[in-house]
């Protein structure tokens, strides 16, 4: 581009900027109660509340005419139209957001400017506290912060949260975030809301919004209601978003298109149109960006849907990737295992295990990844390989030993877990002797390993049973860490404690609870001490209402934590609310489906609920 052309473009942009500033000032003078403000902000009283379905009742034809006038050849007409649209404020919001991508650069520029200056108060007076908290200062957050609030709202499937999400679909200034809010609605798991009530809330909240995300939701509801031609209409909207990604990548994102395609694939599968669903998944695979994390997720989702032909295509097309990256190799092995093809699963897992044979760090990372995925046999092999690589007193081998013991405990094999930690303790002592405490300079690791070794040994002895030796190991564990809640709970449940031992145990529990309360007071935004206190109190016959309150608070701070849901379920169980205990434990297991400890707790709660219902079949309370 020549210098004269650059100067011309810069001058034009500068003039547009000056005109917009002038128009903003004129509009501020022209209205006494503006619903938008300049970049410097405005008083809270002047911030407009996001309107509901009945609030955007402006004259659509008049607004459309004013928007066209934003591109009029006459300066005075353009300025007058901008002032009038500014005065209309939120009545013109939806039309202005649509005009942001107008082919006329003048119309698009002025529309974007007016939208950018608007200020919303998304929370409403009748919103419950948790919704108000999620929407608090929403406008001042960056894109990542707003997305976090969208995800927080999506964790609850009830009328206030759903209405708030749809409010964001309709009035979030960013089209990309509007689309992410719509996807969050479509991706929600069925909740207590009946389907027809949920559809009514969504439609009423969206009003007549012309935004793409609103159109997605309306069409999605039609498909879910199996309205005629609804599938074809939804498919057209998905293809339009795919085309937008190809033509104007700044107006959407690859992961948005992929998520929308997954919605279509799932809808088709639910309607029994399996071949069409597989065809959509082929398009998803073609859009796959190719990074390790997304490929892993794709394989997992494809195998859940038994899309074996799509997986075969990926395995062929990306054979080199699967053969050179252990995580992807194991992901393919897991898919083959779900397919029921143990021969190919073993081949893929063995290839992955054979990569980087002497790199302990690489195998340790893979082992932890496999542990999180529930592939305990492959994970155990990787951990044992790290220990074997040694040296035994090296930090990798010691760390692998602690993680392997946790895995074995979760599987219910406490005898092996204790044996692994016994070896780890010897290696840790040798490491500290040789290196002058270089591996564990402050003794934290030694404290943890000693505590867990004695606890796992006690768990094994409980199954033998040998109560005397079980008590011996629990007392030893508590000496190393008198705030380990699992140890204190196990001691509390023993029947053969002497009066002195009972008093000592109760003192440890009281001291640990006091410490957790101190941590809460010191840092009320940290969810962990709330959860620790709730777990301790709910398992040791303490104040169950305090336990419940703390557990609920931990989930407010971290709503998607399966571990915290596990604690909440225990709190309800302690309160003898067995139905809620089963409900929340089921959610916890769904969040961490590979946890043996969580599954065993769910089985206990389900058994207890069934027994209580059998005792009083006519009493649903």
DSSP string, 527-595: HHHHHHHHHHHHHTTS-HHHHHHHHHHHHHHSTT-HHHHHHHHHHHHHTT-HHHHHHHHHHHHHHSTT-
Query: Is 457 found in the same domain as 371?
Result: yes
Separation CA 577–CA 322 (nearest Å): 48
Res 151: pLDDT: 93
What the block records as the tokens of 158 is 């009830």
Query: Is 531 found in the same domain as 457?
Result: no
Provide the residue range defining the domain that includes 516.
499-615
What the block records as the tokens of 181 is 């809010």
Query: Is 112 found in the same domain as 18?
Result: yes
Separation CA 57–CA 103 (nearest Å): 26
Res 209: pLDDT: 86
For residue 170, being part of any structural domain is answered with: no
Task: Give the single-character DSSP code of 31.
Answer: -
Res 49: pLDDT: 52
Domain final residue, candidates 424, 443, 477: 477
Sign of the CA dihedral with 213 first, then 219, 224, and 230 last: negative
Res 376: pLDDT: 92
Res 436: pLDDT: 53
Res 4: pLDDT: 30
Query: Is 520 found in the same domain as 421?
Result: no
Quick count: other Cβ atoms within 10 Å of Cβ 41? 12
Query: Is 503 found in the same domain as 445?
Result: no
Give the angle subtended at the CA of 339 by the CAs of 337 and 340, to the nearest 5°.
65
Peptide bond into 391 cis (omega under 30): yes
Sole residue written with tokens 């050849």: 73
What the block records as the tokens of 184 is 């969050």
The H or E element that residue 281 is part of is helix 274-287
Helices (H), 31-103: 60-69, 75-88, 93-99
Query: Is 508 found in the same domain as 592?
Result: yes
Res 589: pLDDT: 95
For residue 400, being part of any structural domain is answered with: yes
* Burial group, residue 142, by CB count within 10 angstroms (0-12, 13-18, 19+): exposed
Domain final residue, candidates 430, 446, 477: 477
Separation CA 528–CA 27 (nearest Å): 50
Quick count: other Cβ atoms within 10 Å of Cβ 272? 8
Packing angle of the helix pair 376-389, 395-411 (nearest 10 deg): 150
For residues 231 and 189, is the Cβ–Cβ distance under 8 A?
no
Give the angle subtended at the CA of 33 by the CAs of 32 and 37, to the nearest 5°.
105
Query: Is 455 found in the same domain as 510?
Result: no
Give me the number of domains the chain comprises.
Answer: 3
Sign of the CA dihedral with 176 first, then 182, 185, and 188 last: negative
What's the CATH code of the domain at 518? 1.25.40.10
Query: Is 565 found in the same domain as 456?
Result: no
pLDDT averaged per 10 residues in sequence order, the chain, 621 residues: 31 41 39 33 40 49 82 82 73 72 79 71 86 88 93 90 93 90 91 87 90 93 79 94 87 92 92 91 87 87 92 90 92 94 96 95 95 92 95 91 95 95 91 68 86 96 92 95 95 92 95 96 95 96 95 93 96 96 95 93 96 74 46
Res 124: pLDDT: 83
Comparing CA positions, the residue from 32, 15, 37, 28 lying closest to residue 115 is 37
For residues 330 and 372, is the Cβ–Cβ distance under 8 A?
no
CA 97 and chain centroid, separation: 29
For residue 193, being part of any structural domain is answered with: no
Separation CA 565–CA 595 (nearest Å): 13
What the block records as the tokens of 489 is 């709970």
Comparing CA positions, the residue from 46, 37, 36, 67 lying closest to residue 210 is 67
Phi, psi of 36 (to 5 degrees): -145, 165
CA 518 and chain centroid, separation: 29
Separation CA 603–CA 163 (nearest Å): 35
In a 3-state reduction of DSSP, which class is residue 118? strand
Query: Is 503 found in the same domain as 449?
Result: no
For residue 522, being part of any structural domain is answered with: yes
For residues 573 and 544, is the Cβ–Cβ distance under 8 A?
no
For residue 274, being part of any structural domain is answered with: no
303's CB contacts (< 8 A; 6+ apart) are 311, 334, 335, 338, 339
End-to-end CA distance of the chain: 77
For residue 518, being part of any structural domain is answered with: yes
Query: Is 394 found in the same domain as 473?
Result: yes
Query: Is 447 found in the same domain as 548?
Result: no
109's CB contacts (< 8 A; 6+ apart) are 16, 20
For residue 111, being part of any structural domain is answered with: yes
Separation CA 181–CA 169 (nearest Å): 6
Query: Is 454 found in the same domain as 553?
Result: no
What the block records as the tokens of 186 is 């479509």
* Burial group, residue 159, by CB count within 10 angstroms (0-12, 13-18, 19+): middle
Res 433: pLDDT: 76
For residue 432, being part of any structural domain is answered with: yes
pTM of the model: 0.71
For residues 335 and 303, is the Cβ–Cβ distance under 8 A?
yes
């Amino acid at each position: 581009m020549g210098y004269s052309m650059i100067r011309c473009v810069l001058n034009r942009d500068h003039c547009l900027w000056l005109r917009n500033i002038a128009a903003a000032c004129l509009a501020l003078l022209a209205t006494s109660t503006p619903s938008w403000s300049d970049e410097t902000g405005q008083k809270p009283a002047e911030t407009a509340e996001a309107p509901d379905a009945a609030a955007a009742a402006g004259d659509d034809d008049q607004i459309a005419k004013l928007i066209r006038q934003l591109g009029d050849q006459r300066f005075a007409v353009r300025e007058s139209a901008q002032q009038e649209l500014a005065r209309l404020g939120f009545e013109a919001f939806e039309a202005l957001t649509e005009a942001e991508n107008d082919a006329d650069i003048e119309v698009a520029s002025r529309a974007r400017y007016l939208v950018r200056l608007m200020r919303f108060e998304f929370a409403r007076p009748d919103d419950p506290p948790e919704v108000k908290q999620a929407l608090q200062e929403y406008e001042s957050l960056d894109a990542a912060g707003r997305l976090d609030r969208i995800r927080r709202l999506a964790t609850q499937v009830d009328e206030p949260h759903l209405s708030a999400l749809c409010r964001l679909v309709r009035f979030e200034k960013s089209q990309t975030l509007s689309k992410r809010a719509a996807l969050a609605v479509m991706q929600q798991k069925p909740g207590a809301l009946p389907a027809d009530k949920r559809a009514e809330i969504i439609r009423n909240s969206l009003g007549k919004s012309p935004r793409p995300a609103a159109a997605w939701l309306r069409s999605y509801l039609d498909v879910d209601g199996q309205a005629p031609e609804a599938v074809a209409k939804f498919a057209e909207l998905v293809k339009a978003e795919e085309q937008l990604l190809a033509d104007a990548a700044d107006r959407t994102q690859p992961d948005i298109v992929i998520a929308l395609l997954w919605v279509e694939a799932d809808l088709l599968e639910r309607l029994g149109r399996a071949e069409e669903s597989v065809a959509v998944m082929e398009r998803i695979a073609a859009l796959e960006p190719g990074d390790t994390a997304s490929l892993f997720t794709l394989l997992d989702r494809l195998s859940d849907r038994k899309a074996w032909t799509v997986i075969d295509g990926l395995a062929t097309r990306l054979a080199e990737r699967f053969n050179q990256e252990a995580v992807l190799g194991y992901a393919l092995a897991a898919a083959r295992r779900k397919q029921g093809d143990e021969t190919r699963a073993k081949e893929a897992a063995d290839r992955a295990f054979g990569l980087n044979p002497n790199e302990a760090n690489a195998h340790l990372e893979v082992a932890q990844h496999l542990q999180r995925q529930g592939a305990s046999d492959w994970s155990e092999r990787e951990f044992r390989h790290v220990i074997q690589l040694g040296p035994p007193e090296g930090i990798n081998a010691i760390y692998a030993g602690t993680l392997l013991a946790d895995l074995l405990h979760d599987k219910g094999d406490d005898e092996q877990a204790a044996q692994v930690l016994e070896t780890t303790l010897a290696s840790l002592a040798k490491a500290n002797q040789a290196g002058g405490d270089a591996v564990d300079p402050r003794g934290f690791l030694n404290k943890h390993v000693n505590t867990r070794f004695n606890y796992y040994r006690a768990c094994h002895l409980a199954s033998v049973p040998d109560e005397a030796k079980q008590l011996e190991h629990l007392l030893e564990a508590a000496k190393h860490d008198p705030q380990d809640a699992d140890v204190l709970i196990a001691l509390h449940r023993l029947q053969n404690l002497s009066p002195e031992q009972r008093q000592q145990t109760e003192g440890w529990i009281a001291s640990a609870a006091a410490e957790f309360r101190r941590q809460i007071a010191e840092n009320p935004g940290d969810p962990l001490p709330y959860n620790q206190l709730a777990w301790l109190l709910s398992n040791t016959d303490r104040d169950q209402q305090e336990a419940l309150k703390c557990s609920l608070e931990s989930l407010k701070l971290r709503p998607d934590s399966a571990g915290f849901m596990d604690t909440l379920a225990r709190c309800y169980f302690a309160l003898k609310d067995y139905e809620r205990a089963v409900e929340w434990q089921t959610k916890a297991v769904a969040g961490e489906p590979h946890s043996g400890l969580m599954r065993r707790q769910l089985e206990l709660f389900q058994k207890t609920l069934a027994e209580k219902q059998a005792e009083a079949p006519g009493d649903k309370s």
